[in-house]
Amino acid sequence: MHSRTARATSICGALLVLAGCTAPEGPEAAPALAAGCPVTERAAPDPERPVVDLDLRLADDLRTVTGTETVALTPDLPVAELWFRLVPNAPQSAGHRLAVEAVRGDLVAGGGYVDAGAASGTPGSLYRVDLRETVPAGQTVSVELDFRLRLTAGETPAGFDRLGVDDSVTWWGSGAPLLTWEPGVGWAQDPMVEVSGETTAAPAADTTIRVSVPGDLVVLTSGDQGRPRETADGRRVWESHDPVARDVLVAVGEFETATVEVGSTRVTTGVLPGADASAEELAERTAEAIRVLEGRFGPFPYPTLTVPLVSDDGGGEEYASSILLGSDDPGLVVHEVAHMWFYGMVGNSQFRDPWLDEAFASYAESVADGHTHEDDLDRGGAVGGSMADFDDQDEYEDLVYGKGAAALAAAREAAGEQAFDEAVRCYVETQAWTIARPEDLARALQGLEPALDVLVEAGALDRRDAEAAGE
């Protein structure tokens, strides 16, 4: 996510020649890459990944979503329960509410809410489905949940949020129970915290989304969406498929849309009446961000990208093959497009290691505008740590976004630009569609001691991770 839009990046973009905004050439180190690097092929998604079907209906009041979610999980560890995160019940989304109304399945024994730091007045931030028997690794378990999402108009504590209602638009990201399975690890049961961030760990899942909406409203959602079909009751049903979605965004409104092809990706943007930018302008801005970032991080991860602009004074939120924009600020667009690599494709536990996606997305802004945030490197405090390790929103953003981006830029300078870029590319391609950990990055940086030293010094990597990478 990106809650601030007024960072200094655009100033550096205009004044690139001034000291502090340039990206100096670093000493060239001999490329010494980790085993398996350099890579020529991107890792394929797990063929045993979860299959998720979301059948959603936006009511005529435009603020109630009812849905049925079907999940088929083939775990790589035995499971006796299934856990789901109910993100709208987080403190920062207070006002909205997500409730599970029924759960079904051959092995389902029951289900219940777990508070886990939920906003008061909501059922809980996690939902646990109990199974009648333990399901062994490699066997598929299927459950079906009925749920109701109630969206509230007006300000939430976090301001611009992943869920919202306005005159001509309704949007919800993380608006359905979110499977919290981390392959090889187990269930993520992290508590919600006051600091506003994503707080999820979700596997890439083969996901189908159907959304029924009133009248002729336009839907922009994750995945390869087709044209809507009309139903007898005067509604439209939009269907989309994303074979590797960790979480999905749905935006429904009076969108004007534009489509542009960039490389092998089809970008579809949508703006509301009276928006600051036209759909065509936003499409070109998004396409330019893709072009610039592909040069650094490799091919764009998805065949499609949808970009609804729903406000003119908010931030942004990343979803699988979709970006929610609350502003058309160019730096914000680059940041959120970068999340398609760092979050969308290279997943992470956004509770345990928020810097793995946020520091990289912020660092990616420098690819477009040259600003390396170098002043932020001197801030006290560690870039790494979980969402629970930061005292407040400012500290979280200063360290994870600001200092994190600065540390990655400084690591690049210390190691040599080409060697660092190749190592990061290796990290990206080998960790595609997984939930990565800091030690995976350290392994990719093996042999680039000056870069590892910078990241350890900034508290991004642990000394043990860096040393283990060299063994």
Interaction site with Zn ion (CB under 5 A): 1-2, 358, 361
Q: How far is CA 260 from CA 222, 255, 294, 299, 307, in A?
A: 16, 16, 16, 17, 12
Of 143 and 323, which has the nearer Cβ to Zn ion?
323
Q: Parallel, antiparallel, or unpaired for β 304-309 and 265-271?
A: parallel
Output the smallest distance, CB 198 to Zn ion, in A: 8
Q: How far apart are CA 210 and CA 195, in angstroms?
A: 32
What is the Cα–Cα distance from 156 to 94, expressed in whole angstroms?
Answer: 6
Residue 318 beta carbon to Zn ion: minimum distance, rounded to whole angstroms? 6
Identify which of residues 2 and 49 has a Cβ nearer to Zn ion in the complex: 2
Q: How far is the CB of 339 from Zn ion (least distance, A)?
A: 6
ω into residue 214 within 30 of 0, thus cis?
A: no
In the complex with Zn ion, the residue whose CB is nearer, 357 or 374, is 357
The encoded tokens of residue 179 equal 């499977």
* Residue position matching structure tokens 């004074």: 313
Q: Whose Cβ is closer to Zn ion: residue 164's or residue 404's?
A: 404
Residue 350: CB minimum distance to Zn ion, A: 10
State which residue, 79 or 400, has the beta carbon closest to Zn ion.
Answer: 400
CB of 160 to Zn ion, least distance (A): 13
Residues 208, 55: Cα–Cα separation, whole Å:
8
169, β-bridge pairs: 166, 253
Which residue's CB is nearer to Zn ion, number 342 or number 420? 342
- The smaller minimum CB distance to Zn ion, of residues 239 and 358, is found at 358
Among candidates 224, 209, 218, which has minimal Cα distance to 252? 218
**DSSP label at residue 183:** T
CB contact at 8 A, 8 and 371: yes
Q: Give me the least distance between CB of 327 and Zn ion, in Å please.
A: 13
Of 129, 153, 159, give the one whose Cα is nearest residue 142.
Answer: 129
**Shortest Å distance, C-beta 1 to Zn ion:** 5
